[in-house]
Amino acid sequence: MSWLLSSVEPHIVTHLRPHRSAQSMWAYLKKVYHQDNDARRFQLEHAIVMFQHGSLSIQDYYSAFLTFWHEYADLVTADVPIDALSTIQTIHATTLRDQFLMKLRPEYESVRSSLLNRSHVPSLDICFGELLREEQHLSTQAIMEQSHGSSGTATCFCYKEYEHIAATCPKKLCSYCKKKGHIIKECLIRPQNRQAQAFQTLIMVPPVATFAAHDSPSATCSVPTPPAPDYCTPEMVQRMLISTLSAMGFQGNNSTKLWYVDSGASNHMTNNPTALCHVRPYAGQSFIQTANGSSLPIATIGDASSKFTDVFLAPQLSTDLISVGQLVDNNCAINFSSTGCVVQDQVTREPIAKRPKVGHLFPLFFTGS
């Protein structure tokens, strides 16, 4: 009895205390925990059907599969008469072997076909031995191919030349238009690249001249503007995006704050203190890490709206960012598509913000108070 009490789980010992003999304990355990019911049999059948070789080794796959099958066979044959038991076991052995072979990974197809297409299909033990040898063969072959590939000469698939690969090929060939001198990422004919080039042209081309009218209606002269820089500041991009969105029917004005939805931002952040309300001191130790590796201090923290809360204020920040992760934590759902970005309340599904996509950016507006 002591051995039995020390062999079971602690929560079962309490139920065995009233019993005064080992036989009584065994009878209780069999009555309560013996799994010879239809539910357990169905569970095992489902587990056997769903079980696959996957990434397991042949040895691990064989052991795990037999564990399921032996428990299933014990349940099925528990009440089978002795005279019919051998017949049932023979049928089960054939089914076990066939299911074991059919669940193998594709690289063992040659061995599986060889075993199943014999006039007399061997037993599971023999099949298992053949598969172990094939596994060793495949492992050795993979090592040899890896060694050969690392010591061999690299080949460019574009020009079939040696000593380099396509990424470093000095002779560029576009796989889209089949013309020389550029690769597919630089191809201007490709639709995706045309769209990107159009947006780039929109924000890079400077105005040529402005015209000023004098008192005389006929006296009109052109005043050349200073040369435009060959780069765009965040303020320039913001003005152009607001102009583009206004032309599309989304009105903005000088008090409009343009934010960009960013899945890489860990927190909402802005450089504009007038965009926030309920401003409070920031007592944390965190700082903003920019893409170029520099660190920006967090001055204060505030709210942009009821849904856009806990926004970091960093005056040196160049762009206002909306954090996708923070929106999700605040029970918001964000949907990105080719038409734009939609922010909704996860519970009510009520739209909070909806703006079109501009180029490769997803801007959102907050109107100033």
Q: What is the pLDDT of residues 181-216, one digit of tens each?
A: 887 777 777 766 654 444 443 334 344 333 333 444
pLDDT at 317 > cutoff 60: yes
CA-to-CA distance for 252 and 243, rounded, in angstroms? Answer: 8
> What DSSP character marks residue 363?
E
The pLDDT score that the predictor gives to residue 235 is 59
pLDDT > 90 in the chain, percent: 17
CA-to-CA distance for 206 and 228, rounded, in angstroms? Answer: 6
> What DSSP character marks residue 73?
H
The pLDDT score that the predictor gives to residue 224 is 47
Give the tens place of pLDDT for each residue, 29-68: 887 776 556 788 888 889 998 999 989 999 999 999 999 8
For 215, the 3-state DSSP assignment is coil
CATH fold of 234-367 reads Cathepsin D, subunit A; domain 1 (2.40.70)
The pLDDT score that the predictor gives to residue 324 is 87
Using an 8 Å Cβ cutoff, are 77 and 71 in contact? no
The pLDDT score that the predictor gives to residue 212 is 38
* Structural tokens at position 93: 């052995």
3-state secondary structure 238-281: HHHHHHHHHHCCCCCCCCEEEEEEECCCCCCEECCHHHCEEEEE
Rounded average pLDDT over 296-315: 87
For 83, the 3-state DSSP assignment is helix
Using an 8 Å Cβ cutoff, are 282 and 303 in contact? no
The pLDDT score that the predictor gives to residue 160 is 54
Q: Which of 331, 278, 322 is nearest to 300 (CA)?
A: 278
> Residue 322 forms beta bridges with which residues?
261
Rounded average pLDDT over 300-309: 86
On average, the pLDDT of the chain sits at 76
Query: pLDDT grade, residue 150 (50/70/90)?
Result: low
pLDDT at 323 > cutoff 90: no
289, containing H or E segment? strand 288-289
The pLDDT score that the predictor gives to residue 213 is 38
pLDDT at 128 > cutoff 90: yes
> What DSSP character marks residue 185?
G
The pLDDT score that the predictor gives to residue 367 is 45
Give the tens place of pLDDT for each residue, 68-104: 898 888 888 877 888 888 888 899 999 999 999 999 9
The pLDDT score that the predictor gives to residue 127 is 94
The pTM of this model reads 0.34
Look at 227-241, 315-329, 343-357 and tell me which has the smallest mean pLDDT: 227-241
Residue that wins the pLDDT comparison between 362 and 250: 362
pLDDT at 177 > cutoff 70: yes
pLDDT > 70 in the chain, percent: 72
Report domain extents, the chain.
35-138, 154-230, 234-367
Residue that wins the pLDDT comparison between 159 and 353: 353
CA-to-CA distance for 295 and 8, rounded, in angstroms? Answer: 59
The pLDDT score that the predictor gives to residue 62 is 93
Q: Which of 172, 225, 236, 175 is nearest to 202 (CA)?
A: 236
- Sheet containing strand 269-270, strands side by side: 277-281, 300-303, 311-313, 269-270, 321-323, 256-262, 363-367
pLDDT at 218 > cutoff 80: no
CA-to-CA distance for 76 and 68, rounded, in angstroms? Answer: 13
| CA distance readout (Å), 290 to 245, 295, 339 | 28, 6, 29
- Helical ranges in the chain per DSSP H: 2-7, 10-16, 22-33, 38-50, 58-76, 82-102, 109-116, 124-151, 191-204, 234-247, 324-329
Residue that wins the pLDDT comparison between 50 and 369: 50
State the amino acid at position 75 in one-letter form. Answer: L
Rounded average pLDDT over 139-143: 87
